[in-house]
Amino acid sequence: MAFLISIITPFNSVMGAAQRVWYGRRIEATEITEPPVFIIGHWRSGTTYLHELMHLDERFVSPTTYQCFAPHHCLLTERMMNLLGSWLIPKQRPMDNMAAGWDRPQEDEFALLTLGAPTPYERMAFPNEEPPYNEFLDMRGCQPADLARFEKAIVHFAKLLTFASHKRVLFKSPPHTGRIEVLSRLFPGAKFIHIVRHPFALFPSTTRLWQSLDEVQGLQMPTGKGLEEYVFGCLTRMYAGFEDQRKRLDPAAIYDVRYEDLIANPVIEIGKMYARLGLGDYSPVHDKIASFVEAQKEYKPNKHRLDDALKARIREKWAAYFERYGYA
């Protein structure tokens, strides 16, 4: 990883400067006329599946994997990478075997990280160190300079996507769950689709997620020390922020959906979201979603076995989530 980063960095710097010269002023002058839609919820709660479904609506633009990993110069180099660099990325995600690729919809959190925003995802580089920027899971205790960097990065990225597509932005990032108040201030009228899932599925799947990412993204050999407590603490902090902030937002801006209901009947559940949040006519995308669901029917999610002692810990640590979302 250190070798690859050393090679890529000069290219990123040169092409980043070129994109600023060529497009910088036009990006910053772009107006976001339609507020973004944010898919939020804890890691492994179904945010990726929901993102894939809503990405089928061509009225939205979702950031691609390449745009998230190279936001400084994606306007200049994305087409070239899609043609020549497909071998650089696996065809499936290591944590759940879902389709991957430079052109697939991706978490904007990676773009914020690359743009220099403070984000807990910095942890992936050094997984054995104290996790950084956990305050950006609930936006409590953020330093003013850090908050300014975060706000500048996400507004810039939203403008970049709008400039490139002239469409409404569809973002997906689990850490945004505890940021809804800040995001509503930055993007007045923003909508939030919040997905929840049974904690007995969330905990082992999230642990596996970080183990996979630490192995392939880290600059250290991960020891796994403290990982379980990190997983427990992230949900607790994120949802303390979310539940506090949603009290001050328009209830009509947030739609809650259970993963179990979405999986049982995706076509109907997506239709409910469109109607409740006023996302436009659902009929143009109805058949696309039905076809996608049919094509994915053979996909088998990972299954996890938990012993009674771990189940008891999860119930104790995440008691509020169990109770609030009907899993008690």
pLDDT band at 87 (very low <50, low <70, confident <90, very high): very low
Q: pLDDT by residue (tens digit) across 201-228?
A: 999 999 999 999 999 889 999 999 999 9
Residues 65-69 have a mean pLDDT of 94
Residue 2 counted as domain residue? no
Q: pLDDT by residue (tens digit) across 141-192?
A: 999 999 999 999 999 999 999 999 999 999 999 999 999 999 999 999 999 9
Point out the least confidently predicted range of 60-69, 92-101, 113-122, 304-313: 92-101
pLDDT of residue 300: 67
CA distances in angstroms from 155 to 27, 115, 185, 199, listed in the order given: 10, 11, 11, 32
Q: Which residues partner with 61 through β-bridges?
A: 169
> Which residues constitute the domain of residue 93?
30-324
> How many CB atoms are located within 10 Å of the residue 327 CB?
18
CATH code of the domain containing 158? 3.40.50.300
What is d(CA 241, CA 182) in angstroms, rounded to the nearest whole number? 11
pLDDT over 90 percentage in the chain: 85
Residue 74 counted as domain residue? yes
Tell me the angle at which helices 199-217 and 227-246 cross, rounded to the nearest 10 degrees. Answer: 120
Residues 69-91 have a mean pLDDT of 77
What is d(CA 24, CA 18) in angstroms, rounded to the nearest whole number? 9
What is d(CA 206, CA 178) in angstroms, rounded to the nearest whole number? 17
Residue 238 counted as domain residue? yes
Long-range contacts of the stretch 246-252 (C-beta < 8 A, 24+): 246/180, 248/181, 249/180, 249/181, 249/184, 252/276, 252/277
Residue 139 counted as domain residue? yes
Q: Are 131 and 142 in contact (CB under 8 A)?
A: no
pLDDT of residue 287: 96
pLDDT band at 88 (very low <50, low <70, confident <90, very high): low
Residue 136 counted as domain residue? yes
Residue 9 counted as domain residue? no
Residue 96 counted as domain residue? yes
Q: How many domains does the chain have?
A: 1
